[in-house]
Structure 1
Amino acid sequence: MDKLSILGVIIGFGALLGGNFLEGGSIYSLLNGPAALIVIGGTLGAAMLQTPMTSLRRALSLFVWIFRPPANAFKTGIDTLVRWSILTRQKGLLGLEHNAETEPDVFARKGLQLMVDGSEPEVIRRIMENELILEEQRDLDAVRFYDSMGGYAPTIGIIGAVMGLIHVMSNLDDPAELGSGIAVAFVATIYGVGLANLLLLPIANKLKMCINERSQYRELMIEGIIAIADGENPRAIEMKLNGYLHKQG
């Protein structure tokens, strides 16, 4: 569980509510059903309109990464590659046949299978890099769902504000209706801007960071598997791959 993400959400919304309290307001002044319906419903509808169903499904499945990012243990990956390299030197490429069948990482398993099948290093690289690029693009396309929501939310908030002001202007002769109309106007703006900058845009950026880190880990696997296929020395492989530890740090 990523405690930093949870802490960030608490601090962001806590600062908003705390500032409102210090200004003399109450939490009830920020609760407005019509404003929430306009902003949340309008933002969600606009984002769904522009997003293909496959990307929407992927975006929803990636949401869990915000609080539970995928594990990319770079040091463990390097140790595994070095161990495979030593095994290859001892038993040849066929010595990795068992690992190619049992490796839990699907991406690494594909590289091992290609290597055990006798594919040329450049063929292995081309196949694995193509898969890396396609999966990375698929995930980035999915993340645009949250990016677009972050872009639409403030505008929908302004629409809600205008609707509230229209309601106010049409009831100038009824003072009892003025308060609720003005509340919808201002609260809708807060909802739109707050939702975008405290939640949606940070979610999109967090997911992009997770995707980038996973891509770097897969680049590490590609370089390691190609080095094994080329017959490089295990120590040289380890030294070369240790550069990815600096990227991670």
Structure 2
Amino acid sequence: MGVVLGAVASGSELWDFVNVPGLMIVVFGSFAVTLVKHRWRNFFGSVRLAFSTTFLEKTQDPWELYREARQLADVVRKQGLLGLDRVEITHPFLRKAVGLAVDGHPPEFIEEVLLEDTHQYVERLQTAEKVFRGLGESAPALGMLGTLVGLVQMLNNMQDPSSIGPAMAIALLTTFYGAFIAQLIVLPLADKLQLKTQDEVRNRMIVISGILSMVKGLNPRIIKDVLASYLPELDAMEDLHESTPAQEES
């Protein structure tokens, strides 16, 4: 956004790119079209979720989550499942999974609860992504519509040839607004939500597989094999983390 605004300011004044009617057509028109497609609660919830996901929340590193699961597996091997009740866990979904395991629920029930929780969370992220992709589709279309309105008004008032240039510039501004909003704001947020969904699904499946392995009494050494499908770079990461302490000592 800074690059675009800088390029605008380098060749003209920013005020020349302000057209209130065109901006209203693009902004309010895009919101109105999106509200027709989605429920208003989903729309405002999606806006809140998108901005919190992009600017506030931090996705858990899958390697750190894997190492935490391995540590919990060691606790279970030495102290049993009740030993997990005394371990401080930072990841909220992992904390919920551990709570279900400590309470003594069967593996089938734990898996059902955790998968349903994952499904509901992923559905909210996907809904937010659809909302912002809808905005990304509507904004350029409304910009073109505003441009056509401006061109019709210009062609109806061509008595003064000197006014054609400024009128054309104003008419094209709505296309600029539509492309600016779509490509620099809403579509990047939609892509960010899609990436967040993929990361959350992977991390939650790591948690579910790890907890179910502990509840079923599997040996902690095979957790690496259980989680290998979610962390294809696991061997390389382990080599990196194991070589770092040796390098520090040397």
Q: What TM-score, normalized to structure 2? A: 0.82
Unaligned runs of 5+ in 2: 238-250
Q: Is 1:66 aligned to residue 54 of structure 2?
A: yes
Superposition pairs of residues 198-217 of structure 1, within 5 angstroms: 198-217=184-203
CA contact (8 A) 1:162 1:185 kept: yes
Aligned mates of 1:46, 1:247 — CA distance in 2? 43
Question: C-alpha deviations, 1:189-210, integer Å up to 9, x for none?
Answer: 1221232123221221111101
Superposition pairs of residues 1-150 of structure 1, within 5 angstroms: 9-10=1-2, 13=4, 18=7, 27-62=14-49, 63-99=51-87, 103-150=89-136
Aligned mates of 2:21, 2:44 — CA distance in 1? 28
> Structure 1 residues 157 and 139 mapped into 2: Cα distance closer, same or farther (>3 Å)?
same
Stretch deviating more after TM superposition (191-200 or 222-231):
191-200
CA contact (8 A) 1:168 1:181 kept: yes
CA contact (8 A) 1:160 1:184 kept: no
1:173 matched to which residue of 2?
159
Aligned mates of 2:189, 2:64 — CA distance in 1? 28
- Secondary structure of the equivalent of 1:151? helix
Stretch deviating more after TM superposition (29-38 or 74-83):
29-38
> Structure 1 residues 247 and 159 mapped into 2: Cα distance closer, same or farther (>3 Å)?
farther
Stretch deviating more after TM superposition (228-237 or 24-33):
24-33
Unaligned runs of 5+ in 1: 1-8
What amino acid is aligned across from residue 209 of structure 1 in structure 2? L
Aligned length: 234
- How large is the Cα RMSD of the aligned pairs? 2.6
Q: Name the % identity.
A: 26
What amino acid is aligned across from residue 106 of structure 1 in structure 2? P
4+ residue segments displaced more than 6 Å = none
- Secondary structure of the equivalent of 1:246? coil
Aligned mates of 1:60, 1:152 — CA distance in 2? 16
Aligned mates of 2:218, 2:182 — CA distance in 1? 50
Q: What TM-score, normalized to structure 1? A: 0.82
Aligned mates of 1:79, 1:90 — CA distance in 2? 17
